[in-house]
Amino acid sequence: MNVPAIAKSTFELLRNQPEFLSITESVITHLNKIKSSLERTRFVHNMVDEYNKEIFLHPILKEMVPCKSGCTACCHTQVSVTEDEASLLLHNITNGVEIDYNLLSLQTEQGNVTKDFYKLAYKDRKCVFLDDTGECKVYNDRPSVCRTNAVVGDSAQCSTDGVEQGPIRLVKTSKADMVIVGAYAHATESGTLPMMLTKVLKDKHAKDNTSILKSLFDRIIGRKPVSKDYEL
């Protein structure tokens, strides 16, 4: 099971506490009953948001968290998604959200290997859903790990633009992390956002050869291979 590192370490820490373990168990039980992948994903995202509300709406914490629209440091890091989340992102694309397919292919080539991803130039690590003004094009449907990313302290430390990321302190989102572990435990597959998005696009194209899927598929598969010469 390929669980995002932060959620995994929360789970390791809290798995022996029934109050927390029951969150993960109830997520898996609920997900087993939901047939539609879009509904499953929205169920997980709603639960993550509900638990985070208790934390992020606290006035003291609000003052301590510098994260704001336009700060895109964490949108240049490696993001994991479940297959369900990738399907929801594809749903956004088939409903008109535009992405850079060359960038998607380039990032997909790095697979699940974190060190290969960070060999890419900073501009090539930009999430394909980040627009030119620093806004997320799929904000309401962004993956669960994007919903739990918040730091306290100096946000300048978050940057990986030609420098090692500084000593950042993430806000503890323990209950939301336990939800995320449940979602990943239930997932048939998970991995990096570019890899999983390309996978669901290929799978859907193989099953359902509509013209919109064909044109998206051709834009990914039809492109020329790019050089892998991206050392910083």
Smallest gap from Cβ 161 to ligand SF4, in A, equals: 15
Alpha-carbon distances, residue 123 vs 132, 161, 202 (angstroms): 12, 9, 26
Query: What is the token pair recorded at 213?
Result: 């899927």
Query: What is the token pair recorded at 208?
Result: 């359902």
Nearer to ligand SF4, 75 or 195 (CB): 75
Query: What is the token pair recorded at 214?
Result: 């064909």
Smallest gap from Cβ 88 to ligand SF4, in A, equals: 11
Q: What is the rounded distance in angstroms from the CA atom of residue 183 to the CA atom of residue 4?
A: 11
Smallest gap from Cβ 200 to ligand SF4, in A, equals: 15
Nearer to ligand SF4, 21 or 56 (CB): 56
Smallest gap from Cβ 53 to ligand SF4, in A, equals: 18
Smallest gap from Cβ 166 to ligand SF4, in A, equals: 19
* Bridge partner list, 55: none
Q: What is the rounded distance in angstroms from the CA atom of residue 28 to the CA atom of residue 7?
A: 15
Nearer to ligand SF4, 97 or 152 (CB): 97
- The angle subtended at Cα 85 by Cα 156 and Cα 40, nearest 5°, is 130
Q: Which among 224, 118, 171 has a CA at the least distance from the CA of 6?
A: 171
Nearer to ligand SF4, 6 or 136 (CB): 136
DSSP 66: -
Nearer to ligand SF4, 14 or 150 (CB): 150
Nearer to ligand SF4, 145 or 178 (CB): 145
Q: What is the rounded distance in angstroms from the CA atom of residue 44 to the CA atom of residue 86?
A: 13
Half-sphere exposure of 99 toward its Cβ, with a 13 Å CA cutoff? Answer: 30
Residues contributing to the site for ligand SF4 (CB under 6 A):
75, 79, 127, 129-130, 136, 138, 142-143, 146
Smallest gap from Cβ 65 to ligand SF4, in A, equals: 15
